[in-house]
Structure 1
Amino acid sequence: MQTTKPAPSAREQELLELAYAYSLSHGLAELSLRPLAAAIGSSPRVLLFLFGSKDGLIRALLARARSDELALLKNLRYDDQPGLEVVARELWTWLAAPERRPLMNLWVEAYGRSLVSPEGPWADYARSTVDDWLELLKASQPDPDTPTAEARRTAVLALLRGALLDLLATDDLDRTTRAVETELG
Structure 2
Amino acid sequence: MAEDRTDASPRRRELARRAYEYVSEHGLADLSLRPLADTIGTSAGVLMFLFGSKDGLVRAILAEARADELVMLDEVRQATADADLATVAGNVWDWLAAPEHTRLLNLWVEAYGRSLITQDGPLAGFAAETVRDWLEMLEAADAASDPGPERATAVLALLRGSMLDLLATGERDRVDAAFQLGLRRLLS
User: Normalised by the size of structure 1, how large is the TM-score?
Assistant: 0.92
Question: Structure 2 CA distance, aligned partners of 1:104 and 1:128?
Answer: 16
Cα shift at 1:12 = 1.3
Partner of 2:114: 113
Question: Structure 1 CA distance, aligned partners of 2:98 and 2:137?
Answer: 19
Asked if the contact 2:158–2:183 (Cα under 8 Å) also holds between the matched residues in 1, the reply is no
CA RMSD of aligned residues (A): 1.6
Unaligned runs of 5+ in 2: none
* Superposed counterparts of 1:131-146, under 5 Å: 131-141=132-142, 142-146=144-148
The answer to whether residue 38 in structure 2 is matched with residue 76 in structure 1 is no
Give the counterpart letter for 2:117 in structure 1.
V
Give the counterpart letter for 1:35 in structure 2.
P
Cα shift at 1:118 = 2.3
Asked if the contact 1:28–1:109 (Cα under 8 Å) also holds between the matched residues in 2, the reply is yes
Cα shift at 1:6 = 7.2
User: Normalised by the size of structure 2, how large is the TM-score?
Assistant: 0.90
Question: Structure 1 CA distance, aligned partners of 2:7 and 2:154?
Answer: 39
Cα deviation 1:69-124 (Å, max 9, x = unaligned): 10111112257531111100000000111000000000000000100112110011
SS in 1 for 2:7: coil
- Count of residues in Structure 1 that have an aligned counterpart in Structure 2: 179
* Superposed counterparts of 1:145-160, under 5 Å: 145-146=147-148, 150-160=149-159
Identity of aligned residues (%): 54
Unaligned runs of 5+ in 1: none
Identify if the C-alpha distance between structure 1 residues 64 and 6 changes in structure 2 by more than 3 Å, giving closer, same or farther: closer
The answer to whether residue 176 in structure 2 is matched with residue 174 in structure 1 is no
Cα deviation 1:3-28 (Å, max 9, x = unaligned): x8872222212211211110110011
SS in 2 for 1:140: helix
Give the counterpart letter for 2:173 in structure 1.
D
Identify if the C-alpha distance between structure 1 residues 164 and 5 changes in structure 2 by more than 3 Å, giving closer, same or farther: closer
